[in-house]
């Protein structure tokens, strides 16, 4: 049993290190790319296959694909982490309030989230992102808009479970302030599950944001965003297959690492799957 626990931590640490390495790569992109620009076009070098100078080849405008992939991590990570932070804070807050106070607040929040659930998420995200004008900021807003309800539902059901338990009632009877009960009793009860949910969501948020960018409703040229790069490389598929391979591989690997991270965090925190 003890050994199993030790392995769990080891697995978690391994993926945590991988995730930190990805983040460091994004932060130190200029160093890694040795000064190569991700956006400066060099038409004479267009569509060069990978070699020792351009590790991942060059794209249709002669930009270094390796530099674009590395710099792309900045956009992808910051956007995905922003989405997860927004939906985590908003969903948890509204869910706790709905679960704790009940009544009208609960009814309004939950009816709204019922409504959101009856939309297929990606369809609504495409519509919101496209209509509000294509930009990475609007893509973040669109994905957050359709995703926060999951957190609200989870937080609400967890709060409802302990709302009428003896120790909470005792705190109420003892005259604790509502703020105190909310932050000291309710929040700790919901946090482990929601943190795990947030960690496992990073991967899927990266996928959704990249999907929006691929359709043209996210990052705009000349930004080095992975989904957008795949879209821009599409017409050159026959002659320059490296344009299809590397940005996709980058998304895949980063999502894989964050998915593993979320899963191993679940094992470490020992949260029951809901």
11-70: which residues touch other proteins (CB under 8 A)? none
61-100: which residues touch other proteins (CB under 8 A)? none
Could you count the other beta carbons within 10 Å of the beta carbon of residue 100?
A: 21
CA-to-CA separations, 202 to 78, 141, 195, 209, 262, in angstroms, rounded: 11, 15, 11, 11, 8
Q: Of the two residues 72 and 211, which places its CB atom closer to other proteins in the complex? A: 211
Q: Which of 49, 133, 188, 221 binds other proteins (CB under 8 A)?
A: 133
Q: Which of 75, 255, 261, 265 binds other proteins (CB under 8 A)?
A: 255
Burial letters for 154-192: b for 16+ Cβ neighbours within 10 Å, e otherwise? bbbebbeebbeeeebeeeeeeeeeeeebbeebbbebbeb
Contact between residue 217 and residue 143 where contact means Cβ atoms under 8 Å apart: no
**Contact between 120 and other proteins per CB under 8 A:** yes
Min. distance of Cβ 161 from other proteins in angstroms? 12
What is the full DSSP assignment across 159-217?
HHHHHTSHHHHHHHHTT--HHHHIIIIIHHHHHHHHHHHHHHHHHHHHHHHHHHHHHTS
192-221: which residues touch other proteins (CB under 8 A)? 197, 200-201, 203-204, 207, 210-211, 214-217
H helices within the chain, ranges in order?
2-27, 29-32, 65-101, 103-117, 121-131, 136-163, 166-173, 178-181, 187-215, 226-233, 242-269
Q: Which of 85, 117, 170, 172 binds other proteins (CB under 8 A)?
A: 117
**Contact between 234 and other proteins per CB under 8 A:** yes
Count interface residues toward other proteins (CB under 8 A): 54
Q: Of the two residues 128 and 168, which places its CB atom closer to other proteins in the complex? A: 128
Of the candidate spans 21-29, 42-50, 77-85, 150-158, the one that interacts with other proteins by CB under 8 A turns out to be 150-158
Q: Which residues bind other proteins (CB under 8 A)?
A: 111-112, 114-115, 117-128, 130-133, 147, 150, 153-154, 157, 197, 200-201, 203-204, 207, 210-211, 214-217, 227, 230, 234, 237-238, 241, 244, 248, 251-252, 255-256, 259-260, 263, 273-274
């Amino acid at each position: 049993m003890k050994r199993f626990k030790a392995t769990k931590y080891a697995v978690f640490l391994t993926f945590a290190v991988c995730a930190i390495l990805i983040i460091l790569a994004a932060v130190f992109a200029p160093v890694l790319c040795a000064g190569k620009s991700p956006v400066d076009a060099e038409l004479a070098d267009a569509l060069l296959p990978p070699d020792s100078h351009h590790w991942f080849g060059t794209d249709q405008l002669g930009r270094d694909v390796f530099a674009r992939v590395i710099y792309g991590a900045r956009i992808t990570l910051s956007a995905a982490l922003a989405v997860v932070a927004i939906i985590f804070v908003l969903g948890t807050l509204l869910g706790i309030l709905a679960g704790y106070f009940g009544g009208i607040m609960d009814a309004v929040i939950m009816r709204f989230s019922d409504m959101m659930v009856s939309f297929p998420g990606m369809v609504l995200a495409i519509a919101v992102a496209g209509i509000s004008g294509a930009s990475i900021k609007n893509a973040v807003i669109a994905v957050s808009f359709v995703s926060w309800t999951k957190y609200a539902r989870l937080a609400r059901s967890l709060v409802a479970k302990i709302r009428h338990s003896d120790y909470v009632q005792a705190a109420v009877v003892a005259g604790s302030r509502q703020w105190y009960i909310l932050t000291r009793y309710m929040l700790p009860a919901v946090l482990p599950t929601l943190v795990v949910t947030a960690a496992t969501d990073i991967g899927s948020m990266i996928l959704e944001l990249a999907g929006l960018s691929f359709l043209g409703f996210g990052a705009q040229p000349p930004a080095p965003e992975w989904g957008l790069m795949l879209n821009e490389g599409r017409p050159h598929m026959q002659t320059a297959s490296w344009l299809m391979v590397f940005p996709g591989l980058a998304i895949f690997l980063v999502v894989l690492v964050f998915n593993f991270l979320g899963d191993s965090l679940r094992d470490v925190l020992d949260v029951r799957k809901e």
